[in-house]
Amino acid sequence: MRKIIFPQAHWPQFAGGLKKYDIHLKAINSNGRKPVAIWLGIGAGMLIIQIVLGGITRLTGSGLSITQWGPILGALPPLNDAAWKRSFELYQHIAQFKKVNSFFTLADYKSIFFWEWMHREWARLMGIVFFLPFVIFLFRRMISKELIKPLALLFILGALQGVVGWIMVKTGLNDTDTSVSPISLATHFIFALLLLSYVFWLFLSLTVKQRRTQISDTARRLNILLLALLFIQLVYGAFMAGTHAALYAPTWPDINGSFLPATGNGRLIHNLFYAPLLIQFVHRCMAYIITITLIVWYFSMRKVKRGSLLHRRRLLPLMIVLLQATLGIAALLNSNTPHAIYFSILHQFVGIILLLSLVGTLFLGRVTPGDRKIVKAQRARAIPSPGSNGTNLANKGRRVNVE
């Protein structure tokens, strides 16, 4: 880490650059900061619950039980026997009933209807929780202009996620497919994770008082790489659920007695998205890669300033990934048992927490536009005299750490 000497007289104008660009320093006034932060925190918590509900809906085979969208009129479930029979009749027209659940009675249908209805109802509740406080905050001028656009983007992403969800359901409402498309399922899942990450980032920007922590470029790049790898891994987790890939090889560490899957014929690109054994193989390999990369990242964070929030939290992602790997193995080995759904839901939940932990470490070690401006200005003005190594200027100026 280099030390650049920066004359004291110039410090205020360059330090002001960080204040100009750091959104959490002037996004809301002092009276509105805490309520808005609480609102975003509640929203992030509700999104986590919604993603878990989506996992339960998928694992119980409930996703196609409601064949009509009805974003407003569908808020209430069938209220009498005649309404239940009409809903059940609509379900009987699709391939999932004809090919998989033809033995269903009305009572069986009600059991799967509940989870899909709850998943949609929670989405409606989230819309209310996000929208009404936002209007109140605007009316009371508790949100400044700098935060309005990021929050507007939040609502756009939320609406888009609802549309993507219905498009996903439509892929299974036909006479041939017994489930939704794995690709559409993964798309819906990733949109939800991106939305959650975005809300969590806004929440951190309003609650974390510590401005920034000096970390190495290597650690920061590894953090970004880990997030990219984890998103790919979560996509393949959705493929695992969409193709029931665990049932094809419920063994570990081998895959049905081999370490390489027998994928059969077909194009590699197609098999990467649709061949259950290859999907499981990729999912396993990604888990190993992420775990190893996280260990490397942890050791790259040894030089982080002691006592900083990032220093205190650097062990958390590593502990979570080890728990996540253990739950993944347990879910795989128990995929043929009645307890499979519990392991799978826990596995998904811990994966979400791992994502948020890495988003948090990226936030704590981020480089803001203001940081870059200060560094650029320091480098332009730090011209020590020959042979002095900055000693003379150090007595007149201010020493700043630059990565």
Q: Are 253 and 299 in contact (CB under 8 A)?
A: no
> In the structure, what pLDDT confidence band is assigned to residue 259 with cuts at 50, 70 and 90?
confident
Q: What is the pLDDT of residue 189?
A: 92
Distance CA 222, CA 236 (A): 21
- Give residue 343's pLDDT: 92
Q: What amino acid is encoded at 84 in this protein?
A: W
Looking at the DSSP bridge assignments, the partners of residue 401 are: 3
DSSP assigned state of 6: E
pLDDT surpassing 70 at residue 176: yes
Are the C-beta atoms of 206 and 33 separated by less than 8 Å? yes
State both tokens at 98.
């004809």
d(CA 91, CA 94): 6
Distance (Å, whole) CA 240 – CA 55: 12
Grade residue 45 by pLDDT with cuts at 50, 70 and 90. very high
**What's the one-letter identity of residue 211?**
R
What b/e sequence results for 335-353 when a residue is b if at least 16 CB atoms lie within 10 Å of its CB, and e otherwise? beeeebbebbbbbbbbbbe
pLDDT tens for 351-368 read 999 999 999 989 888 766
Phi, psi of 146 (to 5 degrees): -65, -25
pLDDT digits (tens, 9 = 90+) for 17-30: 444 434 444 444 45
Contact in structure between 351 and 234 (CB atoms under 8 Å): yes
Angle made by CA atoms 25, 31, 34, in degrees to the nearest 5: 70
Q: Which single residue is written with the structure tokens 């029979």?
A: 85
| This prediction's pTM | 0.81
Look at residue 281 and tell me whether its pLDDT is greater than 90. yes
Q: Is 251 exposed, middle or buried (0-12, 13-18, 19+ CB in 10 A)?
A: exposed
Mean pLDDT of 192-215: 83
* Euclidean distance between CA atoms 52 and 352, whole angstroms: 9
SS (H, E, C) 162-220: HHHHHHHHHCCCCCCCCCCCHHHHHHHHHHHHHHHHHHHHHHHHHHCCCCCCCCCHHHH
Structure confidence by residue, pLDDT tens digits, 310-362 = 777 888 999 999 999 999 999 999 988 888 889 999 999 999 999 999 999 89
Query: Average of pLDDT values for 206-220?
Result: 73
> What pLDDT does 52 receive?
94
CA dihedral 61, 161, 320, 242 (to 10 degrees): 30
- Angle between helices 33-59 and 182-207 in degrees, nearest 10: 160
| Cβ neighbours of 155 (radius 10 Å) | 13
* H or E element at residue 46: helix 33-59
